[in-house]
Chain A
Amino acid sequence: MVKESGYQWKLGMFVIVGLFLFVGTIYFVGKQKNLFGSTIELYSKFNSVNGLAVGNNVRLSGINIGTVEDIEFLNDTSVVIKMVIKDEVRKYIKKDAVASINSDGLMGDKVLTITSGKKSTILINDQDYIRSKKAIEMDDLMVSVKKSVDNAGLITAELAQFSSSMNNGDGALSKLVSDKKFGNSVDNMVTSLEASASEFETFTTSMNNGKGALSKLISNERMGNSIDSSLTNVKTATKGLNEVIEAAKHNFLLRGFFNKKKKVEDKKLEEEQEIEEAEMKKALKMDQKNDSINK
């Protein structure tokens, strides 16, 4: 009898410890999935759940607060997700909270992330619907990336065309960059410009210090005075001559000659003006043409 109760005691321990292990595991796993303790249910409508599955975690500020309980089709374009979250975090979720679906790492599960609302001050209730944000799908991401890649392609193609025409073309800009002859002539021009500048320098120097007429004209004071007086004389002489011519104009004998002379002179002036205008117009047109080419 003693022997019997001995084995029964051991068997009892064995069974109890085993069941304890099992129930403990069930409890902890259940706690993980919020099967025990008070919870609330929330709903959110999505167009696509991106592979989110029943049992995935629900996170708020990166903390697991619940799990996805159910995923059902609402109609042909939308899916409603039922999530069960701990009642204790209800106070952090406002009416304007937004649910979105993210990936937990590159290879990891999907998670449902709730972003707590900011503006609203009203807490959510059990069975509430919260707004959803369209998930960043890999496809969408790829579409936008493709757009930028296409644009980049276009830009580089044009850039390539531009640089090639610059290298091989006949335009002024391309000549500026690549024509040797043009470069030489510019070089020559600069050299001759230098030479003339130095000549001009000697000219001005000699003009300032020399004893020639021109130099005296500029620098000699006495000569300046004499020129002044001679110019005054010339002025007086012309004045006298003018009076004579005026008198002659009024003389009827000479009136005809003077009129004729005046007419010819007017005509000549007009013609000269017309030619000048035409030339100006021509030059303007040329400019415009050049501009358009360079564009």
Chain B
Amino acid sequence: MNQTLTIQKERLGTYLNQSFIEVGRATEFAIRFFKEAIRPPYEFKELLKQCYLIGYKSLPLVTITGFIMGLVLTLQSRPTLAEFGAESWLPSMVALSLIREIAPVITALICAGKVASGIGAELGSMKVTEQIDAMEVSAINPFKYLVVTRIMATTLMIPLLVIYADGIGIVGGYMGINIHGDVNVVRYLSQVIESITFLDIFPATIKTFFFGYFIGMIGCYKGYNAENGTESVGKAANSAVVTASLTIFIIDMIAVQVTDLFF
């Protein structure tokens, strides 16, 4: 009895220890990104390629989800607002919830699924097949070429994708409103614009940069530190998605608090 307890205690100890080590290594990794990103030479071409792969190639997915988000949000909010006789607030409500919260978070989650897992798997397999080592022995900084470009690409592209999701979500909202009634486009858009302030746009936009950074960072970290063996590639991809999704929610929570604090 006593023995099993000590064993469990030891296990807990090693588990905690490993968690701390993991966080420490991830932090080191994150800091290394900034160091390497500043120092020349810059891999512009690879950055553009990654931007294309991460940003442009995710656009169809984001378009569909964004449209559905706007549509569903409108249809679901209508009965509640109608109960208060505030149906005229539907465009404002949909626009505000899309811009402030739903579009950034859902887009980030979609990209965590698509991009973080992709990066995790790609870098993981490169690690396992010694491609990263090969780069290093040919005196090319693999961190700069692989990691910095990808993290920069996600940091830049996720906000852009969120902007698309915002726009398409608002179009979806318009469709949703027109299922039940007939609202003029200009009237709808003017109501949407009227309800938005800079305090809705800027914190939400800044938040998406963090989402992007962490999606790239976690994907790269998991892939770059994959152990040997084919199995670890899948593990890296999986754990990249899970960790990135969780991190998105944590950042979102912090962002809300910070926004509350300063504005």
Contacts and interface: CB of A to CB of B under 8 A. Distances in A.
Whether both chains belong to one complex is answered with: yes
A176 interface: no
B134 interface: no
Nearest to A20: B163
Contacts of A107: 86
Given A7-B49, A11-B48, A32-B194, A26 B56 contact: no
B31 interface: no
Contacts of A14: 52, 55-56, 59, 160
B258 interface: no
Contacts of B56: 7, 10-11, 14
A149 B126 CA distance: 83
B51 interface: yes
B84 to A, nearest CB: 8
A45 interface: no
B160 A28 contact: no
A281 B204 CA distance: 99
B55 A21 contact: no
B167 interface: yes
Contact of B160 (A18, A26, A30, A32): A18
Task: Give the interface size class of chain A.
Answer: 20 to 34
Given A8-B48, A21-B167, A15 B55 contact: yes
A70 to B, nearest CB: 15
A15 B56 CA distance: 9
Nearest to B99: A25
Contacts of A29: 193, 196-198, 201
Contacts of A94: none
B164 interface: yes
Given A7-B49, A11-B52, A11-B56, A28 B193 contact: yes
B241 to A, nearest CB: 24
Interface residues of B, number: 22
Contacts of B59: 14
Contacts, number: 54
Nearest to B53: A7
A55 B196 CA distance: 11
Interface in B184-204: 193-194, 196-199, 201
A22 interface: yes
A168 to B, nearest CB: 52
Interface string B36-71: 000000000000110110011001000000000000
A33 interface: yes
B52 A32 contact: no
Interface string A1-22: 0000001101100110111011
Contacts of A8: 48, 52
A21 B56 CA distance: 15
A19 B55 CA distance: 13
Interface in A86-122: 107
A33 B198 CA distance: 9
A33 B48 contact: no
B218 to A, nearest CB: 24
B196 A7 contact: no
A30 B193 CA distance: 9
Nearest to A13: B56
Contacts of B197: 29, 33, 55
B103 to A, nearest CB: 12
Contacts of B49: 7
Nearest to A18: B160
Contacts of A7: 48-49, 52, 56
B85 to A, nearest CB: 10
Contact of B163 (A22, A28, A32, A55): A22
Contacts of B194: 32
Nearest to B160: A18
A251 to B, nearest CB: 120
A103 B146 CA distance: 57
Interface in B72-130: 86
A8 B46 CA distance: 11
Q: Which of B51, B52, B86, B193 has the most CB of A within 10 A?
A: B52
Contacts of A25: 166, 193, 196, 201
A10 B52 contact: yes
A107 B85 CA distance: 11
13 contacts: A8-B48, A14-B55, A14-B59, A17-B164, A18-B160, A19-B160, A21-B166, A25-B201, A26-B201, A29-B196, A29-B198, A32-B194, A55-B197
Interface of B: 48-49, 51-52, 55-56, 59, 86, 160-161, 163-164, 166-167, 193-194, 196-199, 201, 205
Given A14-B55, A14-B56, A25-B193, 16 more contacts: A7-B52, A7-B56, A10-B52, A14-B59, A15-B55, A18-B161, A19-B160, A21-B163, A21-B164, A25-B196, A26-B201, A28-B193, A29-B196, A32-B193, A32-B196, A107-B86
- Across chains A and B, which 4 residue pairs bring their CB atoms closest together, nearest first? A18-B160, A11-B52, A14-B56, A7-B52
